[in-house]
Amino acid sequence: MSGRDRLWSPRPLHLAVVELLRKEGTLTDAELLKDLRDSFGELSPRELNRVLMKLEISGLIRVSRLMKGKRSVELAERA
């Protein structure tokens, strides 16, 4: 099922990512994807990557590589 076939969620995906990181602290991208799938159902890694990229460009989160195929996602510290 593609993203267009789903109903709109009352909570935007980017907001859910920030809320999860505030609650849990630093997570791997796999943990984040698993937690988001509990709330949003079928969510592809590509959709998550798109949201993470937008949040990182906005300066809200920081994504760093832990090892090949595994990334760490954390909230950016505000000055």
- If you average pLDDT over residues 30-40, what whole number do you get? 92
In a domain, 20, yes or no: yes
Give the separation between CA 22 and CA 19, rounded to whole angstroms.
Answer: 5
Domain count, the chain: 1
- Residue 78 pLDDT exceeds 90: no
Read off the pLDDT band of 39 (50, 70, 90).
Answer: confident
- Mean pLDDT, the chain, as a whole number? 87
Considering only residues 44 and 2, tell me which one the structure prediction assigns the higher pLDDT. Answer: 44
- If you average pLDDT over residues 30-43, what whole number do you get? 91
In a domain, 5, yes or no: no
In a domain, 79, yes or no: no
* Least confident span in 23-27, 28-32, 40-44: 40-44
Query: Residue 46 belongs to a domain with what CATH number?
Result: 1.10.10.10
Q: Which two tokens stand for residue 25?
A: 């602290």
Q: Which two tokens stand for residue 6?
A: 């789903």
Residue 47, domain extent: 10-74
In a domain, 17, yes or no: yes
